[in-house]
C-alpha cells in the first residue's frame, strides 16, 4: 500500500500533467501537447485533474476525515510504512509537502516533454532557414517543434557558431 507521500505525490503528478496539457492547448504549444487536435488536450487535462483530486480525496487518502500528513522527523521516528504518530493524525509539514509538490511537478514536466517529443517526433518546424535568427525563443518555440527538436536545434546552432 502506498504511504501518504506516495498518494500525495501521485495526486500532484496527475494534476500537474493535466494542467500542463490544458496550458499547452491554450497556448497552442503543439510541441508540448500529446495530441494533434488541441481540444483533446483540454479534455485529457481535465480528466487528469479530476482523476487526481478524486484519487487523493476519495480513493487514496486512508483518513479522509483529516488532511493527513506528517513531518520528515516522523519518517525517521515512525518509519516510511506508517509515518503517523499513533495518537495524533497530523499532517505532512509544509516544508515536506512543498518538496514533494515540486518533485511531482518536475516529474510531470519531464513526462510531458518525453511523451510529446516521442509522439510528435514528426512535427516539422515551419520556420524557414533564413529566418532562424528571428526564431521564437523559450516556450514559444514549442509551437512549431518538440522540446527535443528545440534542444537539438540550439545545440546545432551553438556548434555552428564556434
Partner 1 sequence: MDAIISADETLFFWINGLAGKMPILDWLMRLFGDDYFVFTIVPLLLLFLWVGFRSAAQREINQRAVLCAVIAIGLTGLIIHFITEYGPDRLRPSDAYPDLVNLIAYARTDPSFPSESAAVSFAFATGVWLMKRGRLAAAMFFVAVLLCFARVYIGVHYPLDIVAGVAIGILASLAAFGILRIIEPLPTWFLKLIRIHYMA
Residue 5 has, within 13 A of its CA and on its CB side, a CA count of 21
User: Could you tell me the smallest distance in angstroms from the CB atom of residue 73 to partner 1?
Assistant: 14
Q: List the one residue out of 125, 116, 126 whose CA is nearest residue 148.
A: 116
Tell me if 141 sits within 8 A of 150, measured CB to CB. yes
Residue 27 or residue 75: which is nearer to partner 1 going by CB?
Answer: 27
- Interface positions with partner 1 (CB under 8 A): 8, 11-12, 15-16, 19-20, 22-24, 26-29, 32, 49, 56-57, 65-67, 69, 88-91, 94, 97, 101, 105, 136-142, 147, 150-151, 154
Tell me if 148 sits within 8 A of 117, measured CB to CB. yes
Residue 24 or residue 123: which is nearer to partner 1 going by CB?
Answer: 24
User: Could you tell me the smallest distance in angstroms from the CB atom of residue 42 to partner 1?
Assistant: 11
User: Could you tell me the smallest distance in angstroms from the CB atom of residue 76 to partner 1?
Assistant: 19
E strands of 47-114, at which residues? none
Q: List the one residue out of 46, 39, 37 whose CA is nearest residue 18.
A: 46
Residue 62 or residue 67: which is nearer to partner 1 going by CB?
Answer: 67
Amino acid at each position: 500500500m502506498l504511504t501518504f507521500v506516495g498518494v500525495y505525490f501521485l495526486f500532484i503528478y496527475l494534476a500537474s500533467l493535466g494542467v500542463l496539457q490544458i496550458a499547452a492547448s491554450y497556448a497552442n504549444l503543439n510541441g508540448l501537447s500529446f495530441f494533434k487536435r488541441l481540444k483533446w488536450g483540454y479534455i485529457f487535462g481535465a480528466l487528469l485533474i479530476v482523476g487526481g483530486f478524486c484519487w487523493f480525496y476519495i480513493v487514496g487518502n486512508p483518513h479522509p476525515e483529516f488532511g493527513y500528513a506528517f513531518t520528515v522527523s516522523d519518517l525517521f521516528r515512525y518509519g516510511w510504512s506508517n509515518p503517523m504518530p499513533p495518537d495524533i493524525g497530523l499532517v505532512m509539514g509544509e516544508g515536506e509537502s512543498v518538496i514533494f509538490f515540486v518533485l511531482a511537478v518536475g516529474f510531470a514536466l519531464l513526462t510531458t516533454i518525453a511523451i510529446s517529443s516521442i509522439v510528435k517526433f514528426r512535427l516539422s518546424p515551419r520556420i524557414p532557414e533564413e529566418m532562424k535568427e528571428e526564431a521564437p525563443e523559450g516556450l514559444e518555440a514549442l509551437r512549431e517543434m518538440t522540446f527535443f527538436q528545440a534542444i537539438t536545434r540550439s545545440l546545432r546552432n551553438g556548434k555552428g557558431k564556434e
